[in-house]
Amino acid sequence: MASLSEAEERHLINTESRIMLEGVLRMASMTAGDVMVASTRMDVLDIDAPYDELLYTVIDTAHSRFPVYEGERENIIGILLAKDLLKLQRAPELNLRALLRPAVFVPESKGLNDLLRDFRGNRNHLAVVIDEFGRVAGLLTIEDVLEEIVGEIEDEFDKNEDDGDIFFLADGTWRVSGDTPIARVNESFDLQLSDAEVDTVGGLVAHEMGQLPQRGDHHILQGWRFEVLLVRSGAVKWFKARRPEATD
């Protein structure tokens, strides 16, 4: 790492190249278990769930791929691409099982270098991670691996500087970026949250919870339910906010 910093200072490489090379070196010692989404926070689909329930989960989570289980969550029987679910709407006689892609299982100890090579070779973008006892420990995607090299990859949840930070959604909830100033949240939702300790809603939730929030966590702020949709680099990127009367 020191050699790379020296090379940057001597203008042999630029800052972006140094960051990527450092990511490559760091990734060489990392395993699937280091970057996976834990099993308790996995968004999975039940093979026996009604179509409307499956569709709601796909829309609500906004993922492109889902592990599908039968019976118990541990029993992953395949991977469903969100776009394939639409085929059931056009042809209800289709069997959901016929739409499943084979699930790829990897051990927690598998190196990220090897995993990236596998992703490229078999064209899979998602792997289910298994612990030493053969139980499902979590999952990770090719994006999770690449972000260790190139940093955060923007997706549909990422906002441009001029896009704003609070968006009304069709289901009557709001999508709120974690770096939204508390004063703006107060103004938008008619709240009286204090900004004495922290400046942003993400910082406030973390402060009140006493820990770094994870995807799927939720916290109540003066009756409003703030659910964590996306976490990057230890900080909440997006919340879903619900009115008090809409709280489950």
Domain-terminating residue out of 150, 181, 210: 150
pTM of the complete model: 0.57
CB half-sphere exposure, 235, CA atoms < 13 A: 12
pLDDT confidence of residue 205: 93
Please give the tally of structural domains in the chain. 2
**Are residues 60 and 136 both part of a single domain?**
yes
240 part of a folded domain: yes
Does one domain contain both 177 and 228?
A: yes
| In a domain? residue 86 | yes
Residue 70 corresponds to which tokens in the numbers above? Answer: 């039968």
Instruction: Give the pLDDT mean for 49-71.
Output: 86
Q: Are both 68 and 119 inside the same structural domain?
A: yes
Quick one: what percent of the chain has pLDDT higher than 90? 31
- Give 66-119 pLDDT, tens digit per residue: 999 999 999 999 999 988 888 877 777 778 898 999 999 999 999 988 898 888
Is residue 14 included in any domain, yes or no?
A: no
Higher per-residue confidence, 85 vs 171: 85
Domain termination site, one of 150, 177, 199 = 150
CATH number at 235 reads 3.30.465.10
221/11: higher pLDDT: 221
- CATH number of domain containing 42: 3.10.580.10
- Assigned domain for 3 exists: no
Regarding whether 171 and 117 lie in a shared domain, the answer is no
| Contact of 156 with 164, CB cutoff 8 Å | no
Q: Residue 2 domain-assigned?
A: no
pLDDT tens-digit series, residues 5-36 = 676 677 777 766 766 677 677 777 888 888 88
Instruction: Dig out the tokens for 204 from the structure.
Output: 């406030």
In this prediction, residue 1 carries a pLDDT of 56
Does residue 140 sit in the same domain as residue 171? no
Residues 139-167 have a mean pLDDT of 66
What CA–CA distance (Å, rounded) separates 73 from 44? 8
User: Quick check: is 75 in a domain?
Assistant: yes
Same-domain status, 46 and 72: yes
| Range scoring the smallest mean pLDDT among 104-108, 111-115, 145-149, 161-165 | 161-165
The answer to whether 208 and 217 have CB atoms below 8 angstroms apart is: no
Q: For residue 219, is it within any domain?
A: yes
Average pLDDT over residues 169-190: 89
Pairing of strands 105-107, 126-130: parallel
* CA gap 229, 201 in Å, rounded: 14
Are residues 108 and 185 both part of a single domain? Answer: no
Q: Are residues 134 and 190 in the same domain?
A: no
What is the mean pLDDT of the segment spanning 48-77?
Answer: 88
190 within domain boundaries? yes
What pLDDT does 161 receive? 44
Residue finishing a domain among 122, 150, 178: 150
Same domain, residue pair 140 and 44? yes
Q: Are residues 178 and 214 in the same domain?
A: yes
Same domain, 136 and 198: no
> Is pLDDT larger for residue 246 or for residue 129?
129
Residue type, 154: E
pLDDT at residue 246 tops 60: no
Q: What is the pLDDT of residues 123-134, one digit of tens each?
A: 788 999 999 888
Tell me if 124 sits within 8 A of 65, measured CB to CB.
Answer: no
C-beta neighbour count of 44 within 10 angstroms: 16
Average pLDDT, the chain: 82
Domain that holds residue 129: 32-150
Together in a domain, 37 and 83? yes
Q: What pLDDT score does 122 carry?
A: 81
Half-sphere exposure of 171 (CA within 13 A, CB side): 13
Residue with tokens 């799927």: 216
Q: How confident is the model at residue 51 (pLDDT cuts 50, 70, 90)?
A: confident
